[in-house]
Amino acid sequence: MNLHLLAGIAVLLLLVAASAYREALRNEPIRRNRMNPAKLPQLDENE
């Protein structure tokens, strides 16, 4: 196969993946709450 054709297909797949990722973020935005130390799980120092 032609190298330019492979590069074009790779770029097209990358754009499709980026578009799907943006659509997923638009439908379900990430919560941007600040990290509260009281809400974090306690770390076990023995491990």
| Structure-model confidence comparison of residues 5 and 24, the more confident one | 5
- 13 in a domain, yes or no? yes
Euclidean distance between CA atoms 7 and 10, whole angstroms: 5
Q: Say whether 41 sits in a helix, a strand or coil.
A: coil
Residue 14 tokens, joined: 């990358």
- 4 in a domain, yes or no? yes
| Structure-model confidence comparison of residues 35 and 43, the more confident one | 43
- 42 in a domain, yes or no? no
The model's pLDDT over 25-42, given as tens digits with 9 standing for 90+, comes to: 887 755 655 555 556 566
Structural domain containing residue 15: 1-27
Q: Model's pTM, two decimal places?
A: 0.53
Q: Domains in the chain: how many in total?
A: 1
Which of 9, 11, 13 lies closest to 1 in space, CA to CA?
9
Instruction: State the pLDDT at residue 46.
Output: 65
- 9 in a domain, yes or no? yes
Q: What letter represents residue 43's amino acid? A: L
Question: Residue 4 pLDDT > 60, yes or no?
Answer: yes
Question: Residue 1 pLDDT > 60, yes or no?
Answer: yes
